[in-house]
Structure formats: C-alpha cells, structure tokens
Structure 1
C-alpha cells in the first residue's frame, strides 16, 4: 500500500464521474487551488525579459564564441542592457517598416543571439513570431509563409538566399533583415541583386540604425491572450499544422516550473545559471527554457551552429543547465560504456563497482557520492564542463537505463519531461528526489490530465492494477487552435478544452504518468496481435550495435521486419574480430554474415528485455546511411517519419517478407 504522502498527484476536486474515462488528476502541490497561471504582473514575454534585465543588474545575457581564422575562441557576452537597446531598435525598425499589431513576422535561422533579439522586438510591439526551419522542406516553407501572409522576415544570409530562390512562390514577402553578426558588403550586394525590386533587404546593423532614426517608437503592449507564436509542427505526414500559442500559454508553463521550484520539486534557477542553447529555437521546448532563464536574469550561450562541435562549445561555456534530447544522451551513454568495456581490467572494475554503489543510492534519492564522484565520475562530468547541476530530457522517450546513467555519472538532478507543441512543451515532469525511472512524473501544476478509454486497444480507466487510456490534458498552457484549420482543431480540442495527445498512458502506484503506447502508431498482425513499433524500436536502440531502428508490420503478415542503422564503431569492432576489418562500413552493412549476427543479437536482446516472440523482428536489412532530418526520414525532434521511411524501403520490406515466406 502506497502512503498518501508519497502520491505525486491527486484527483481534481469536484470532478464528475464520466463513463469511459478516469477522473482528472493534478499535481499534489496544488491541492484544491486553481491551476497555475501566468506570474503576477507579467502579461507578455517582453515584460518577462524586462524583469530578468532588472534582476540581472545589467549582467551578461547572450553569449557567442569568437571565431578567428576558423578557430573558436572564448565566449563574448552582451549584457541585458545592451540587448535591450538592440531590441528597442529592431522593434522600432519593424514598426517603421509598416508592421502592425499581431502581424506575423518570420524568423529563419539556427540558434543565435539575433534570434532572441528579433523575437523580443516582436514581443515589444505585439507581433506574432513564426519560426521557420530547413527541415520543413521548400513546399512547407512556401505553405507557411503563404498561410500566415508574412511580409517581413528576419533570416541569416544562407536562409535568405534559400527564400529568394523561391521568391516567385512567396508573393507576400516584401522585406528581409539579415541576422548575421558579420557579413561582407559583397555578400549583401549579391543578395540584393537576387532580391531585385520585389524585396527590400537590410542588414541587422542597418535595421538597428533605421530603428533609432527619429527616436524609438512607443511599446505596443501585448496582453496575455494575444498570440505569442504560431509554431508549425512538421509531424510525420502531410503539410505542417500551425499551433497557435498565446502569451498566457507560455507564461503559465514557465510559472508552473517556478511553482515546482518553490515546493522543492525542481532545482531552483537563478541569475547565476548558464544555459547552452542548441536545441532549435523554432520549437517550443527550447523557448520555454529561454523564458525561464530570462525571467531569472540568467545567461544563454549559443553553440557555433555545428552539432559535431557541440561538446567543445559545452566544455568552453561550462553550463549549469543542460537541456537535451534522448538522441544525444544515448550517444554519451554508448560512448562511456564503450570506453569502460575497452579499458577492461582494474578501470572497468572500479567503474562498475562505483556504478553499483551509486545505483543503490539512487533508490534513496541520492545522486552524489563523496568518493566515487571524484575518483571515477569526474572524467565523465567534464564532458559537459563539470558544472551541470540541472539536466532535462525531453521531446522523445528516454530509456530508464540512460536516466539512471545520467544521474550516476553526472551527479546532477536529472528530469524527464513529457509534452508536445500543443501544450507549450510542458505537460508533465519528474520530481526532484524521485530517482525511479520509467515514468514521466506528475502534470505541470498549470494543467490537469485524464485518461480516456481506448477499448479497441484494450486500454481502459478501469484496468487493474493501474488505470490506462489516451492521455488528455486541459489547462492554461494548452494551445488555442491550429491556425486556419478548424476541423483539425475540433479533432484535437473538445468543447471543454480537453486536448487529445494521441499517447497512451497509465497512472502508477504513486500517481505518476507512464507513457506506454501510441494511439496512432499501432498496427495489427495477421494473428490479431497489436504491435506498438516505437516501443520495440526503443528496446533495440539500447543495444550497442544499433544506432537507429525502424520496425514494420502488416495486417496480412504474421511477423515483423526491420531496417537497422548499425553503430559504426561497434560494428567495426565485430568486423575486426571476424577478419573483416578491411571492409568499408557500407560493405559491412551488405554482408550476410554481419546481417545474421545482428539479427541473432537483436532477438536475444529482445527476449532479455521482455519482448514477446511476435514482437521480435524475423528479418532485417542493415542501412549504412542514417535516418536524418536532412533526408526527410526524421522530424526535427528526431522522431521517425514512418510513412517516408516505409516508402523508401518498401521494396526491401517486400523482399524480406518474401524471404520469410
């Protein structure tokens, strides 16, 4: 029997009994209070930034590395005061260019200080930000600019060139501001020639000078229910949908995090904290973190723009806050364990002994150890600069093994968040001191969650021992609508404000949410068994030989097949021990001996991880080219685009089934 005090959620007060669904639950710290809303006295993201500027006492805010002859140097910083002056100038420029209240302004760039400056300028004048990103593809970019009727867009030179090449498909686009901090006159003139008479082109410096001419324009204050952003989700099929999020949505999500800090459920953030910004600013996960850091007057250092150099940027910045996605955490996990196995002997014995002892400490809620943190895990901590005290994983499920690893090796408070663009990123978060893995915690105190029956999948709110069903959320951070898509909005949002997530969850014995399935990405095999491919892929991707996995099944087939992208380093070790060390990675992936070895390994590993017989793949092909956002096989949040992957490998899938027959 679980003690009432250990329950992390409670039933929402006065919730009615509705057949076919469980009662809504909320964070236990709320009690019977109203759901958390925006912070008192702050009505917009711009006012949030101004508060941080006051708290910081003109401390450093936005930093970037100096690049001299291609070599990255130390970070240089702009203070809150310096940033504020640039924001005011760009805001005045946008106003003088004819932008009007709640007009859509485009932002197209990788993470950089000018992105934040441009965004805050929009918020100062109550414009709507519409982020763009390369992996949307040209058709989607044209669709977004057309649907939102963007006239003014801030972009770096490379993105501006991309837009100008499709200018005939962008009739609304009239003005481009180049966000580059350094750009040659020749490059500007080259782009001006491309723009011709149709598009006015300004550099960031020119835009700031233009904004200051004749004095700064007055601020046009935004209200809580004005639109903060239209954030387009790429999804896995079809054209992207524009998620309309208000200032209330974003600020409520932020304030909910502060409420958890107040109750010691989340590590406190203050003006001394440093965040490394590399997760795309085009997505709400990174933007919520930016709001939190700015509110407290903290610092944001930007990566160079190359993920291959990210760990070098991290080592130079030495952040205290590190927010990432499972894909990177999995890489760190694989490399560290690979290194331990390679060393062997006393080093491996010490590491494993320290790991086991700290694992026991995790069960008591302890992430530090007086001896092992210095003797064994200091080298691992140094990979992230040595100062990280707050780590958050989001955007996709992370293995419990990897969560344990992060807590043990980095001696930090590590949290797993769950949410989606439609919930302003945050929906649930694990709690400080709760070092059990395999769940995503309690709902943010700005919302409540209920589970709705899915009888066709045998999930119901009456299931024992734990209620199960589709996760539905209602609260102050839930999006307003899909832009100009009333039918899609009605599918996702009901009349009472409940948003369907498409995920299947269950409440565990402590009232924490566990995500166990997808309501959409399922299929039935010929013998009638339901399959959730993402769960199987997550199991396989924990194996050292596997970098990426795609599992496929069909209702006319009794078995599963898979496309596996091997981990090159691990595969080469196998090859070297089997007299195939002279083969290229591509040749290894085409080798029948290698294929059979990987298939045997996966089936054994699947059984060890409780996959049922019909859940293990019966045939595979090895692919040497990774699934990526660039080849349109991954979404920008690194989820597999199932239909494009299936289409690309359909002939291979057919051949595998023919072999099985």
Structure 2
C-alpha cells in the first residue's frame, strides 16, 4: 500500500498572516523549492521544440490522416527533423515578408500540423501568435483582428474565406498564408481586396532560398495573446509570455521527478482534438514536444473522433468532463440494457477494482482482460493516462475512468490567465471530489467573499476565492488596464472568480463561483452549476441549463434529453412512440421528466429549493456552433437566458397559476 502524506499541501514557510485570507499553500513536496517557470533545457517555446528534436530527431512528431475519396487513410507522419526544416523555412519566409519581433501572426484553423509549424515559425522571430476561432462569432474576430492590428494570418482556405468576406472591416489585414493550398481563383479574389494570398508550401520554399533569420524569443518575450471566449461580453486578450506557456511543462517535470506526475516519454502518443486556440491543449503539447513524443491530429470532425482514436491508439488522452460523462453514460447504459449475467459480471468486476483503488491499484489480472477490454478499446486500447480539465468532473466518473481503462487520471484546474495549470491531482492520490494541490509553477491562497459568507476562518475548513500567484500567471489583458486591475492585483495574485476550500487532507476543492450565483426571492443563494452537475448524471439528461429569477422563489430548467436513452425511456413510461422533437413537445413527457428529475435530485441530496419546479425540453443540443457554449463546452448563461427567455417566462407563469 502506498504511503500517503497526511496533507497534500503546506503553508508557504515565512508567509505573513493577512486578515481576510488564508496563508498561501503549495504541494507538500514543493514548499521550499523554487517556483517552476522554464523547464531545464528551454528558455522559449522554440527551445522546447529544439529539445524535442534532440530527443527524437528522425522519429515521428506530427501526424495526420490524408483523405482519399472522402475517406481518411492511415496516419502519415513528419519527423522532428522534417518539421524543424519546415519551421526554419517558414520563419525565414515571415522575415522576408517583413515580419519582425512583436508583430502579430493570426492562426485560424482546426487542429492540424501546420498550426503547430506556424506558431513555432513565429517563435523563431519573436512574433506573437493570436489564435482565432469562428465559434467566437464574426463580431469577436472583427474585434480581435482590429485590437491587435493583425497583418498576417495563417489559415486554412475555408477560414481565410471568412476573413476575405470581412475585409472591409479588417483594415490591417495584408497577408493570408494558406495551410491547405490556394488556387489562382482565390489568389485573385484576395488581390481584388488588397490582400496577398500565398500557400504555406510556397512561403516555406521562398524562405529556404537565401534564408533570413529574425530575433529569437526569450522567456520574457510575449508569446501569444489568447482571447478568452468567456460566457458574457467582449473577449479579453490574455497576454502570455514564453515562460507562462512553458510553466506547466516545468511543473510536470518537477512532479515526475518526485513521483507525483505520470512519467510521459518520447514513446507516448497523443490525439490532438481539443482546440489549439485554447491554452489547455497548447500546454499539453508543450509538455509532449519537450520529451519528443508523437502528436496525431484528428480529422477535424468530433463526430469522427473515436474513429481517429481507434486508428491512432493513443497512450495519453485529454478531454473535458462532457466527453468523459458521455463515455460513462454509454457504458453504464449498455450494462443496464444487457442485464442478466453480463451485468452481474460487470458489477462484480467493477466493485473488485473499486476496492483496489483504496490501495492505489488501477489494474487487475483477471477483470481487465475478461470484462474491461471492450471498454478500453473505445479509446484504442493503449491509454495509460488521462487528463481532464475545463470544468468539474464527478467522483463517479473519475472512479469509472480508473477502473474501466486501468489508467492514471490527472484532474487539472486552471484558466487561460493561469496558463492552464493552477492545480492538479497527484498521481498517487486516488481520492476524488477535489482538484489536488497547486502546481509547482505557483501557489494558491483563499480570500474572503463576505457577500457569500465564505471566509478563511470558516470551520471545519477555510473557504474563499481562489487566488493564484507564480510563473503561470498572465501578464495582463491586452490594451485593457482596467480589466487587468480587476483580476490581477498589485502583489501579482490572479483572482480567479472561483470559490474554493482546503479540505482535511489539504486538497483544493471548488465549491462555488463568485459570479455564477444568484439569490431567489426568499433569500436562498443558488449555485446553478452544482445543480446542473447533479441532473447531468441522470441517464435521461444530455445537457441542462438551470435558471432562477431573483423575483421568483423557485428554479426552472432547459433540458436537452440524451438521444440514446430518451426514446427507450419514453416507451417504458407508456408515452407514444414518436421522434425526439415530437416527444419534447408533449406535455405528458415534460411532466414525466420533471418527476424523474425531482426524485433523482432528492436522492442526490439537493435541497428542496434547489430542485427545479418546471422544465422545458429542448431537442437540439447546446453547441459552440449555435452560440450556447464556449469552444471548451462551458455553457454561455447570458446567451442561454436570452434564447430561452420566452420559455422561462412561460414556466414561471405556469408555476404561478398552479
């Protein structure tokens, strides 16, 4: 049995007592160590790549699946050395086109090898990358391009056409570098608008002829302006230095040395599908590039992701809870549907492995092959470690992943403003319901939130807003000192807006959100995300949006049914056999769903005022494409409220007249 510490965090030695906040805390193995910033052999993002070249020169680095008659073929790989040549040539091409240090380079595509190559080429000349993504909306792209005065964008042709259509608003745009090639017609269309268009292959070729070099970045050079989509308002440009981008890599290397982090190596394979426009995916890729590992890219369609995974057979899989929840639901529903001996065997195996988790065991000599092999095959059969972040994940799902995939699972916590990594679970700690300890790249304290009755003196555990300080904390919001001052204080603490608690074992636990709460008419405070997490564990629920009007005494919800279970459940309830949209429109269906959720919520410990009193059934999922979710699958509450205002009003009217 693994000997675990009594507390996973300790107070930073010598830190003063400050009224209204806890003392800063760090991982118990890092209290007297320097805060990590740059990994040992790299002082910039480009040097991270050079270290990967040193580790794996002629070994595969970036892989994709070429299409043949609309069908994706096997993965085709470029080696570290081949990619290195492309990066140098493209960087030279940038220099020949007049790009210099601190110029902005827009990156606009789904994940693909050229995205990585273009960013690294930018780093060779100290240019600043500005990721773009159309799920932000045209207005946001307009805002970003003009705020940063982007002259050069590297994009796929479909994304370039969006920019071309917006040219009248984009006064600074002068050069489009097309990742997937451009034909004479497109080049001519760009020329008419005063834009030069060139394929990335042609620009690399130009760069290879009489190579030109620019200024290499240092750890303090601005690396990227990463715009956060947020859930409301105008996007904010988070300025991250090269050290910020590397801090998660340095922290993980420190954790590996102490046995706290999974020891990833050049032999690992990773599937890249989480948006590269977001810092979580980029932080992971920095870590894996540093050790010379392989990065295989998905086709660009999340509906075909599992096909790509089956082909690639990754050893490392990162995702957001939404996908892990779906896998969990599908497996558990399948077991329930089979019933009989198969279900009995699965449940026996699951219970045996869950008991083993208490001793730190994630494998079993019998059950792994006999029962869980088919589950593991869903992710290619070779996954050894999983990472989850961007939103809380339930304890049930965390246990499920460890049991069914025999994988180590790291849950991380952070924001764009903390370079993705603020806290992470220790690989030796198989307890659930928390987000571990601060990453070695920073430290964390809790600050009182009097309006919500959270204080550092609370018993039995101190509570307050989570604040982060260290080499992972951003430099500020671009051209926005007022917004910067709201989040980044004079002592370098980033105020996250999340409410946390230090538990009895020194874990950090997220318990609330400073802004995402509201008060009902009778004075009860509501944290909707907590309630949504409960409901989304129910087999009927795919997604949900819980809302409470401050002039009302109860909650209502918009519920998107789980399409795989909803129709079968409806038949069991004696409801008519109809399509999902037709079922959603039936009042009898709505009442049956409301009854099921009320019973489930009560069983899960929701208080009476936390259980919704009415629901509207929405057959169409919330997605980034329809503007109801951010690209990292966080619900946009403001937009959801606007879209469903008439349904919300109707539900409250019905409750009032009942």
Asked if Structure 1 and Structure 2 have the same fold, meaning a TM-score greater than 0.5 normalized by the shorter chain, the answer is: yes
Would you say 1:324 and 2:311 are equivalent positions?
no
Cα deviation code 1:267-320 (max 9, x no counterpart): 101110101000000000000011011000010000000101100100100001
Shift of 1:456: 1.3
2:325–2:397 contact (8 Å) kept in structure 1? yes
Q: Quote the residue 2:94 is aligned against.
A: 94
1:61–1:299 contact (8 Å) kept in structure 2? yes
Would you say 1:429 and 2:424 are equivalent positions?
yes
Shift of 1:239: 0.9
2:11–2:26 contact (8 Å) kept in structure 1? yes
1:161–1:191 contact (8 Å) kept in structure 2? no
Q: Quote the residue 1:299 is aligned against.
A: 294
SS in 1 for 2:13: coil
Paired residues for 1:74-153 under 5 Å = 74-153=74-153
Paired residues for 1:346-385 under 5 Å = 346-385=341-380
Would you say 1:204 and 2:200 are equivalent positions?
yes
1:164–1:195 contact (8 Å) kept in structure 2? no
Would you say 1:608 and 2:585 are equivalent positions?
no
Would you say 1:257 and 2:230 are equivalent positions?
no
Would you say 1:6 and 2:6 are equivalent positions?
yes
2:157–2:182 contact (8 Å) kept in structure 1? no
Shift of 1:67: 1.5
- CA shift in 2, pair 1:539/1:578, >3 Å: closer
- CA shift in 2, pair 1:580/1:45, >3 Å: same
Cα deviation code 1:450-471 (max 9, x no counterpart): 0001111111111111110000
Would you say 1:48 and 2:48 are equivalent positions?
yes
Between stretches 568-577 and 470-479, larger displacement belongs to 568-577
SS in 2 for 1:5: coil
Would you say 1:639 and 2:634 are equivalent positions?
yes
Tell me the matched-pair count.
654
Shift of 1:195: 4.1
* CA distance, structure 1, for counterparts of residue 448 and residue 7 of structure 2: 23
* CA distance, structure 2, for counterparts of residue 31 and residue 532 of structure 1: 33
Shift of 1:41: 4.2
Shift of 1:184: 6.4
Would you say 1:340 and 2:335 are equivalent positions?
yes
Q: Quote the residue 2:19 is aligned against.
A: 19
Would you say 1:190 and 2:190 are equivalent positions?
no
TM-score w.r.t. length of structure 1? 0.98
2:190–2:196 contact (8 Å) kept in structure 1? no
* CA distance, structure 1, for counterparts of residue 641 and residue 254 of structure 2: 44
* CA distance, structure 1, for counterparts of residue 75 and residue 350 of structure 2: 34
SS in 1 for 2:73: strand
Given the alignment, which residue of 573, 583, 603 partners 2:578? Answer: 583
Would you say 1:279 and 2:279 are equivalent positions?
no
Displaced runs of 4+ in structure 1, greater than 2 A?
3-6, 575-582
**C-alpha RMSD over aligned residues:** 1.2
1:366–1:433 contact (8 Å) kept in structure 2? no
Shift of 1:168: 0.3
* CA distance, structure 2, for counterparts of residue 184 and residue 642 of structure 1: 39
SS in 1 for 2:464: strand
1:585–1:624 contact (8 Å) kept in structure 2? yes
* CA distance, structure 2, for counterparts of residue 367 and residue 396 of structure 1: 24
SS in 1 for 2:353: helix
* CA distance, structure 1, for counterparts of residue 334 and residue 631 of structure 2: 30
2:104–2:150 contact (8 Å) kept in structure 1? yes
SS in 1 for 2:211: coil
Q: Quote the residue 2:555 is aligned against.
A: 560
Would you say 1:649 and 2:644 are equivalent positions?
yes
1:572–1:581 contact (8 Å) kept in structure 2? no
* CA distance, structure 2, for counterparts of residue 479 and residue 168 of structure 1: 33
2:275–2:281 contact (8 Å) kept in structure 1? yes
Q: Quote the residue 2:236 is aligned against.
A: 241
Q: Quote the residue 1:452 is aligned against.
A: 447
Q: Quote the residue 2:523 is aligned against.
A: 528
Q: Quote the residue 1:418 is aligned against.
A: 413
Shift of 1:218: 2.5
Shift of 1:42: 1.6
Shift of 1:394: 0.7
Shift of 1:389: 0.5
Shift of 1:220: 1.8
* CA distance, structure 2, for counterparts of residue 35 and residue 59 of structure 1: 33
Cα deviation code 1:126-157 (max 9, x no counterpart): 10000000111011001100011100110000
* CA distance, structure 2, for counterparts of residue 585 and residue 471 of structure 1: 42
* CA distance, structure 1, for counterparts of residue 410 and residue 536 of structure 2: 21
TM-score w.r.t. length of structure 2? 0.98
- CA shift in 2, pair 1:481/1:184, >3 Å: closer
1:521–1:533 contact (8 Å) kept in structure 2? yes
Paired residues for 1:30-45 under 5 Å = 30-45=30-45
Given the alignment, which residue of 290, 310, 329 partners 2:285? Answer: 290
Structure 1 unmatched runs, 5+: none
Q: Quote the residue 2:174 is aligned against.
A: 174
* CA distance, structure 2, for counterparts of residue 191 and residue 400 of structure 1: 53
Shift of 1:238: 1.1
2:441–2:471 contact (8 Å) kept in structure 1? yes
Structure 2 unmatched runs, 5+: none
Would you say 1:548 and 2:529 are equivalent positions?
no
